Amino acid sequence: MRFFALKGSEQLGAAAARALSIELDPHEERDFEDGEHKARPLVSVRGKDVYVLHSLAGSGGASANDRLCKLLFFLATCKENGAARVTAVVPYLAYARKDRQTKARDPVTTRYVAQLFEAMGTDRIVTLDVHNFAAFQNAFRCESIHLDTRKLFAPLIGKLAGDLSITIFSPDSGGVKRAQLLKEALEAETGKQIGFGFMEKRRSRNVVSGELFAGDVADNAVFIVDELISTGGTMLRAALACRERGARTIHAIATHGLLARVPTCCSAARRLTARSSLTAWTWWQSPKPVTRKRPWTLCRSAA
C-alpha cells in the first residue's frame, strides 16, 4: 500500500497515518512561474494499492480548482505508473452542492466532477459528509464510500448539554435527514428522548426567505447541525430564531469549517455569545488558522 497527502492536506494526512500506524509516502510537487504545476510520487507505485488524500476546499492561495486539478493529475500519474488501484480520499468534495438544476440551464457540477475523477482512472473515492448523499452516490460510477460523523459528534453533544434537554435542529429543510440521523445516534448513545426541529430556508438571487419554524426549543440545549459552515449566515439565522423561542444554549455543529468569510463567522459568534453559548465544531482542520485562536471554536481531526 502507498499513502500520499498532497500539499495543503499534510496535517490531516499525517494524523491519519499515525492513526493507521503507517508512514506517509514521499512525493514531489512543483509550481512553475506560468501557473502550471506537476506532482509525482518519489517511490514506486507499481502493483500497489494507492491512497491519495487531498481536501478540495480553497485556501492558502490555492483555489478549489487548483486543488482539484492537482489531485486529478496525481491520481492519473499513479495510474500511469502501474498502480493496481487508486483511491482518492477527499474529506471535502468541492462542487458537491450543485447536484441538480434549480434554474434553467444550470450546471450539475457534482456529476461533472465525478466524470473527471473517472477519466483519470480513479477506482474508488472516499469522502466525508457530502451535501447530498444520494446525489453523490448517483454521480459516480466508480466505487464511492461516504463517511459520516454522527457517531463521533454524539458523545460530545451529551457532555456539552449537561442536564439540559437536547434538541437537534436543522437550519433548512434540505438538512432534515442529516439531523434526524444524528438525533437517532444520540438517542442510542444516551438512551434519552431527543427533541428535533428545523426551519424553512429558500434562497433566490442571494436573498434568503422562509418563516416556517418547527420544533420545541424552549429551555433546551439546541444543536444546529449542517455539513459545513461557509459564511456563517445560515447558522446565525437559525440560531437567532432558536434564541427568540427561548433556547437555553445554542451550539453550531459542522463537519467542514470552510469559514469563507471569517469576520462574518466571528461576528455571528459574538452576537450569540453575548446572550447564550455558541460553539462551532469543525471535524477536520479548517484551512483558516484564525479559527484555532477563537475561544468559540472547537476543532477536531477527522483522522
Between CA 282 and CA 87 the distance in angstroms is: 24
Task: Check residue 62 and report its DSSP letter.
Answer: B
Given the residues 98, 183, 201, 288, select the one marked as catalytic: 201
Nearest Cα residue to 253 out of 175, 165, 162:
175
* CA end-to-end span of the chain: 18
What lies within 8 Å, CB to CB, of 205 at 6+ separation is none
| Per-residue H/E/C for 191-202 | CCCCEEEEECCE
* Tally of residues, the chain: 303
The DSSP bridge pattern shows strands 27-31 and 37-41 to be antiparallel
Verify whether residue 201 is a known catalytic residue: yes
Q: Catalytic site residues? A: 201
